[in-house]
Structure 1
């Protein structure tokens, strides 16, 4: 279980990016974080695994707070998490299999990493993860021969072999077409359901949040303005997350009702 208590983040010489963030995430939850650009979504994810050090507050995993000020504390924190980035971060000249095996490097000796020597168990885990994301036939092909959506699924497989308690996905489908985006989100959702891995996923697309999230956290100005199930989101909630959407002439927000009808009637591409 992840517990975030009174989390603050301020960059040197600047204003606070996050203001007193509080929430919990249970195993198997698919949490989507929604918000405008600059709302603090990426900073929040990076604070969770100490890629970005919090300025205040506490982050506990299974009741334990690791000290972000120490190298050992940061390393211990990061063992709980796997990260899926927007831009894949693959090594194009290497095979899909070797890219996925990169996710095992924190579990093996340095010399094994240096000479790319992996155990049969690690290779089996990697091949299983590649099959899980639907790319078994691509395992020995170069990563740069794959489409953008396929490369992102390789990124998900690389995260899965880390055997994390939680996966953090920062705008993983921002540059993908709808079909590829849903394939990637399906992979993340399956990890949630089958492996009981919690997922915290930053998204811009409200319709994907309504379709995949078991819970939505809405950020605005570095503060949580909504935390609840997607079906309970009202037009007023969407306006709190995306200020000004209701005044956008291209937006059609129903006066009553929520859920899927709401997301289908709000074109947010220009709002985020």
Structure 2
């Protein structure tokens, strides 16, 4: 995936200005920057939830922005977008929440009966195990912690076969232990499943500790793009 000269302008002001980078499977990219730097808008442009004012979006050598609406829809569906609130149904169990993501792949008669098979339950539990929640499969979502809900959302993305995941401040408001577990899962899943994971966040220490790459935004422009490591004071000043 290659982004060239991405610009996003609203009637009253520009938000993204000349953003260019390449992203590959297996990367866990932290998009960092101060509030208003364009992090969320960048995620929404990557997932084609926002139109682009200018730029090229290259997949398999083709600029999908020049393609027909069907090709753009295909790219949009190839992304899973994780928000601060995963939007899970509170009365569903964790395994039921994961199975819902496979709804469009179930047979017609199972959709009519609204009943999944034992094999499908086992399959869903396999994905809960990938995010360390096998023991929580029978728990209702309302009884899960914020971090556990995010990990269920990650399992849902994986069972759908997602190869690209965008996460917008997914650990905001979580306790430190939950933050660590969610971020570890993100890093491990990206590497193990060869998923491209792009995460917008303000916490530089989390980006340094867990990501494989850090892209820093300031006023809608990339001011830093490096393999993840401890940032220098000068680098932090560029971003914040």
Q: Give the TM-score normalised by the residue count of structure 2.
A: 0.91
The one-character-per-residue Cα deviations of 1:98-146 (angstroms, maximum 9, x if unpaired) are 2112322354578865753446664443211111111112112211111
Aligned in 2, Cα 1:49/1:140: closer, same or farther, shift over 3 Å? same
Distance, in Å, in 2 between the alignment partners of 1:158 and 1:72 is: 24
The one-character-per-residue Cα deviations of 1:161-213 (angstroms, maximum 9, x if unpaired) are 12122111111111111110011111111111211111111111111111111
What residue in structure 2 maps to residue 137 of structure 1? 135
Aligned partners of 1:82 and 1:160 also within 8 Å: no
Aligned partners of 2:38 and 2:220 also within 8 Å: yes
Q: CA deviation at 1:158?
A: 1.0
Q: Does 1:76 align with 2:74?
A: yes
Q: CA deviation at 1:93?
A: 1.2
Look up the SS of the partner of 1:237 in the other structure. helix
Structure that is richer in strand per residue: 2
Distance, in Å, in 1 between the alignment partners of 2:94 and 2:66 is: 33
After TM superposition, the structure 1 = structure 2 runs for residues 172-251 of structure 1, keeping only pairs within 5 Å, are 172-231=170-229, 233-242=231-240
Structure 1 outlier segments of 4+, above 6 Å: none
Aligned residues: 240
Distance, in Å, in 2 between the alignment partners of 1:184 and 1:176 is: 10
Distance, in Å, in 2 between the alignment partners of 1:110 and 1:86 is: 33
Q: CA deviation at 1:234?
A: 2.1
Aligned in 2, Cα 1:97/1:70: closer, same or farther, shift over 3 Å? farther
What residue in structure 1 maps to residue 97 of structure 2? 99
Distance, in Å, in 1 between the alignment partners of 2:111 and 2:105 is: 10
Distance, in Å, in 2 between the alignment partners of 1:175 and 1:110 is: 40
Aligned in 2, Cα 1:200/1:79: closer, same or farther, shift over 3 Å? same
Look up the SS of the partner of 2:12 in the other structure. coil
What residue in structure 2 maps to residue 63 of structure 1? 61
Distance, in Å, in 1 between the alignment partners of 2:2 and 2:112 is: 36
Distance, in Å, in 2 between the alignment partners of 1:186 and 1:100 is: 20
Q: CA deviation at 1:6?
A: 0.8
Aligned in 2, Cα 1:102/1:61: closer, same or farther, shift over 3 Å? farther
Aligned in 2, Cα 1:120/1:46: closer, same or farther, shift over 3 Å? farther
The RMSD of aligned alpha carbons is: 2.2
Look up the SS of the partner of 1:180 in the other structure. helix
Bigger relative contact order, structure 1 or 2 (CA pairs below 8 A, ≥6 apart): 2
Structure 1 residue runs of 5 or longer lacking an equivalent are: 243-272
Structure 2 residue runs of 5 or longer lacking an equivalent are: none
Q: Give the TM-score normalised by the residue count of structure 1.
A: 0.81
